[in-house]
Structure 1
Amino acid sequence: MESQYITFGAQLGDPKADKAVGQFITRISILLNKHCNKVYCKEVDEIAPTIFVDGNLWYWKFEGFQRLRLSKKHRYIEIHIGMPRERWEIVNTIKIKKYLISHLKTALELMIKRLKKEKYEVNEIDLWSDFAKVEEEFLINSHEN
């Protein structure tokens, strides 16, 4: 099995966070694999944003982006996205979905900016064209899962 180029990992703080957010992380990952599974930068083998969703058992207490890291040796770039409880608790699924996809998009923008700072060539035209398909399909299919 071929590995996915853009992965979207998650650390979910408790079963409630998993129930509210986990299904959408899975859906985004499937769509990324479907639409964005090609190399956009030949110097990296994986683009790896990870979301940390606060809950009762585990919590990270940050919102936004932390730990943007490019590993030249291991050929990957990662960033951590923080999602506090108030962003998933007592809000509707549309707000959760919009939060996830917009933060994923910003994370990708930050990672691309870092790659370009290192003088890496990034095929942004294809990446954003492919990501637009992920975004559209994810937001249109609100009834799934």
Structure 2
Amino acid sequence: MSKQLFSMSAQFGDRESSQVILPYFREIKKLFKQLGEAGFCDQIDEFCFILRVDGEISQWEFEGCENIDVDLKERYVSIDIGVPKEMWQSQDEDAIRAYLVGCMQDGLQMMVRALEEKNIQVNTQIFTELSSLLSEY
């Protein structure tokens, strides 16, 4: 089975956090499906973004991008995106959207850098693909 070039998953800290962030999450996943797969790296098929959204029940207590995982056997690289409560509570739609877009752009740069440190080359056109895709968001 082929994988999408970009994918996203999420963990929500409580019901309220999921109610606020889920619409953005779904929009992004829909955009990622439009792109499908593309060969920007010989050893990696999928670049994964994992949202960790703080809530009352669970907190990951970080903001931005952390925890890069490069799995050459499964041919993916992933990064966690921390979404603290302050980022989604009492924020307008534009602020939430801008935060997620900024984190995905930063996260992709960090994932590519981690691959390059392992002497794995990634076509830099991947940045243009993500930016173009997120401009629709």
Give, as a single letter, the amino acid of the residue that structure 1 aligns with 2:117: K
Please state if 1:102 is matched with 2:90.
no
Q: How far does residue 41 in structure 1 lie from its aligned partner after superposition?
A: 0.9
**Partner in structure 2 of residue 115 of structure 1:** 115
Give, as a single letter, the amino acid of the residue that structure 2 aligns with 1:131: L
Conservation of the 8 A alpha-carbon contact between 2:61 and 2:84: yes
Once the two structures are overlaid, the 10-residue window that deviates more, 70-79 or 95-104, is 70-79
Please tell me the root mean square deviation across aligned C-alpha atoms, in Å.
1.5
CA pair 76-2 structure 1, distance change in 2 beyond 3 A: closer
Q: How far does residue 123 in structure 1 lie from its aligned partner after superposition?
A: 1.3
**Partner in structure 2 of residue 68 of structure 1:** 68
Q: How far does residue 105 in structure 1 lie from its aligned partner after superposition?
A: 0.8
**Partner in structure 2 of residue 18 of structure 1:** 18
Conservation of the 8 A alpha-carbon contact between 2:105 and 2:131: no
Structure 1 residue ranges, 4+ long, deviating more than 6 angstroms after superposition: none
Conservation of the 8 A alpha-carbon contact between 1:36 and 1:130: no
Give, as a single letter, the amino acid of the residue that structure 2 aligns with 1:137: E
Q: Any unmatched runs of 5+ in structure 2? A: none
Q: How far does residue 2 in structure 1 lie from its aligned partner after superposition?
A: 4.3
Q: Using the alignment, how far apart are the partners of 1:64 and 1:98 within structure 2?
A: 12
Identical aligned residues as a percent = 26
Q: How far does residue 74 in structure 1 lie from its aligned partner after superposition?
A: 2.2
> What is the TM-score normalised by the length of structure 1?
0.87
**Partner in structure 1 of residue 131 of structure 2:** 132
CA pair 104-36 structure 1, distance change in 2 beyond 3 A: farther
The count of residues paired between Structure 1 and Structure 2 equals 137
> What is the TM-score normalised by the length of structure 2?
0.91
Map 1:34-113 onto structure 2 (within 5 A): 34-35=34-35, 37-113=37-113
Q: Any unmatched runs of 5+ in structure 1? A: 139-145
1:105-131 deviation digits (Å, cap 9, x = unpaired): 100000011111212121112x12221
Q: How far does residue 135 in structure 1 lie from its aligned partner after superposition?
A: 1.6
